[in-house]
């Protein structure tokens, strides 16, 4: 990995922040807010105590997502956007356990929100996102990573599961 000068590092950080708001921000904040608020009952109207079981999932998912974004920035020297990918293969942090921890984190956040807001539409969003992420990974992301990183990605993909850790 090559050390970056401060201007390059700052620009990479700004791009990472921008794409964080744009990509997972849209999926985990904007769309769920729209789905929940469109019911006309208000975002925090449910008084059911079981809804708070969703909060740990939201926090764990958000922490995992931010950790992965940081790894892409610091280790991979890139962003989460397909138009500005990491220059180096990231295989540490949560990437030691699954190849796609960001997608797992997003689904975890969405499941937590579905529970917290008692929202079937957000649960459906989580299911749709899971299907679309799987298709994107299988047909675009993994072939791209094989071409870009070659044998090192091949070894990585043989030892680390796509969605579920291998022990």
- pLDDT tens digits, one per residue of 17-70: 999 999 999 999 999 999 998 876 555 555 678 889 999 999 999 999 999 999
Q: Is the dihedral of CA 109, 94, 166, 155 positive or negative?
A: positive
Tokens, residue 90: 């990231």
Question: pLDDT digits over 89-132, tens only?
Answer: 999 999 999 999 999 999 999 999 999 999 999 999 999 999 99
pTM above threshold 0.85: yes
Give the single-character DSSP code of 34. H
- Phi, psi at residue 98, to the nearest 5°? -140, 150
Q: Is the dihedral of CA 19, 23, 24, 29 positive or negative?
A: positive
**What kind and span of H or E run contains 55?**
helix 54-74
């Amino acid at each position: 990995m090559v050390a970056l000068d401060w201007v390059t590092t700052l620009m990479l950080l700004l791009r990472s922040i921008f794409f964080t708001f744009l990509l997972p921000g849209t999926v985990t904040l904007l769309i769920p807010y729209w789905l929940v608020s469109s019911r006309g009952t208000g975002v925090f109207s449910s008084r059911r105590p079981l809804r708070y079981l969703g909060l740990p999932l939201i926090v764990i998912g958000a922490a995992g997502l931010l950790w992965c974004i940081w790894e892409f920035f610091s280790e991979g020297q890139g962003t989460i956007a397909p138009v500005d990918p990491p220059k180096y293969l990231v295989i540490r942090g949560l990437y030691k356990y699954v190849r796609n921890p960001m997608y797992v984190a997003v689904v975890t956040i969405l499941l937590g929100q579905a529970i917290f807001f008692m929202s079937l539409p957000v649960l459906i969003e989580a299911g749709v996102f899971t299907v679309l992420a799987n298709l994107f990974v299988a047909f675009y992301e993994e072939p791209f990573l094989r071409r870009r990183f070659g044998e090192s990605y091949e070894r990585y993909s043989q030892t680390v599961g796509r969605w579920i850790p291998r022990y």
